[in-house]
Amino acid sequence: MKWLILLALVGSILQAALAFKIGSFNIQRFGISKVEDPFVLDILLRILRRYDLISVQEVMSSDDTAIIRLVQELNQATGLKYNLLISDHLGRSTYREKYVYIYREDILKPTDWYHYDDDCEVCGTDTFMREPFVVRFSSLATELKDFVLASIHTSPDYAVMEVDALYDVWEDAKQRLLTEDILILGDYNSDCSYVRERHWPMIRLRQDANLHWLIGEGADTTVSLNNNCAYDRFVVSGVNLQNAVIPGTAKPLNYEVEYQLTNDEAKSVSDHYPIEVELREDAFYSGQQFPISAEIGISGGKSLNGVCDCVGVDVSSCSGRCGASASHFACKCNASCTSNGNCCVDYTANCKL
């Protein structure tokens, strides 16, 4: 009997060591000050090393020094070879962020990527404050060898519309990449005051039975002790990818508890917890590896902005233009227009759901 228990124990340890983990983490206003703070850096490395592949949101700076430093530190701490794929600097004003994928370069290879084309920012008809960054990965150590990830960090003010519009991103990705195996991950802002119970029926991403939401409303992905919000999510489609997910493994990582921190210490790292999920390992993985590149930090290129002649766009209306706020618009459609008194007349009717 004893050896059976021992065997089960060894088995579960082996399995834990073999588990292929995907993460998603909004590292609140990530920049050089977090890398240069030894305490914060140590926690970040403990978190990141859990994952074979992680989508990071809120990478602030236009230059990539800080995030590359972080990955170099990760490589030093683990002895592994991580690399990173970095999006354009995305936003509608001077406030901008990048999406970054950090991945084990020996077992994962980004084979295709693009920024979702969400229409014209210059005309204010674009949908996303930070258009999703879509990447296809080839994966050696998992049962499923090919899958697609799409990162999102929605604007909290228009989270309902943006989460709904992720449906279009999904449809577009299926056509472009000819696969259904897609994981849309990131900070959806999809709970508490931003997305309410009454909004779910109007969100196509939630209503379509082909899309599975792995993190439910009961989850808390925020560090704050004052609320309980499931902002960060994994939404998965495709029979192959859904079968590749190990049931019950999708959850927030409460690193405050995991690493025995105080709430203030946890807050010095981020206001979000990462979320994580495991994929099935390939039991017959031969140990084959992808070549390691000489360079660390791969540019994802420029975001598309379509053809923008603005012909036929009514810039005096917020219809289809929620979030539009560029200085050359006579009236605005973003959340501060009410207090600034410069909203277009139909702002509330179109943008306050």
Ligand X SMILES: *[C@@H]1O[C@H](CO)[C@@H](O)[C@H](O)[C@H]1NC(C)=O
Please, which residue, 110 or 323, has the CB nearer to ligand X?
323
- Rounded to whole angstroms, the Cα distance separating 331 from 328 reads 9
Residue 328 is a catalytic residue: no
Of 58, 153, 162, 276, which is the active-site residue? Answer: 153
User: Shortest distance, CB of residue 344 to ligand X, whole angstroms?
Assistant: 13
Please, which residue, 210 or 336, has the CB nearer to ligand X?
336
Please, which residue, 83 or 325, has the CB nearer to ligand X?
325
Please, which residue, 48 or 343, has the CB nearer to ligand X?
343
User: Shortest distance, CB of residue 329 to ligand X, whole angstroms?
Assistant: 8
Residue 97 is a catalytic residue: yes
Please, which residue, 155 or 237, has the CB nearer to ligand X?
155
Please, which residue, 243 or 350, has the CB nearer to ligand X?
350
Residue 182, strand partner residues: 148, 237
Which pair of structure tokens corresponds to residue 238?
Answer: 């495709």
Which of 236, 193, 177 minimizes the C-alpha distance to 22? 236
User: How many C-beta neighbours within 10 Å does residue 322 have?
Assistant: 24
- Rounded to whole angstroms, the Cα distance separating 228 from 291 reads 43
Residue 100, strand partner residues: 56, 86
- Rounded to whole angstroms, the Cα distance separating 330 from 108 reads 48
- Supply the angle between the helices 65-78 and 38-48 in degrees, to the nearest 10: 70
User: Shortest distance, CB of residue 245 to ligand X, whole angstroms?
Assistant: 35
Q: Which CA distances in Å does 123 have to 169, 310, 330?
A: 20, 6, 12
- Is the separation of the CB atoms in 134 and 113 below 8 Å? yes
Q: Report the interface residues with ligand X, using CB under 6 A.
A: 93, 157, 325, 327, 332, 334-336
User: How many C-beta neighbours within 10 Å does residue 126 have?
Assistant: 22
Which pair of structure tokens corresponds to residue 54?
Answer: 């992680």
User: Shortest distance, CB of residue 327 to ligand X, whole angstroms?
Assistant: 6
User: Shortest distance, CB of residue 337 to ligand X, whole angstroms?
Assistant: 7
Please, which residue, 92 or 136, has the CB nearer to ligand X?
92
User: Shortest distance, CB of residue 159 to ligand X, whole angstroms?
Assistant: 13
CB-side neighbour CA atoms (13 Å) of 66: 21
Cβ neighbours of residue 23 under 8 Å, at least 6 residues apart?
47, 48, 50, 51, 53, 54, 55, 253, 274, 275, 276
User: Shortest distance, CB of residue 93 to ligand X, whole angstroms?
Assistant: 5
Of 97, 121, 131, 162, which is the active-site residue? Answer: 97
Closest CB to ligand X: residue number: 325
- Rounded to whole angstroms, the Cα distance separating 168 from 175 reads 11
Which pair of structure tokens corresponds to residue 29?
Answer: 């206003």
Cβ neighbours of residue 340 under 8 Å, at least 6 residues apart?
332
Which residues are part of the catalytic machinery? 97, 153
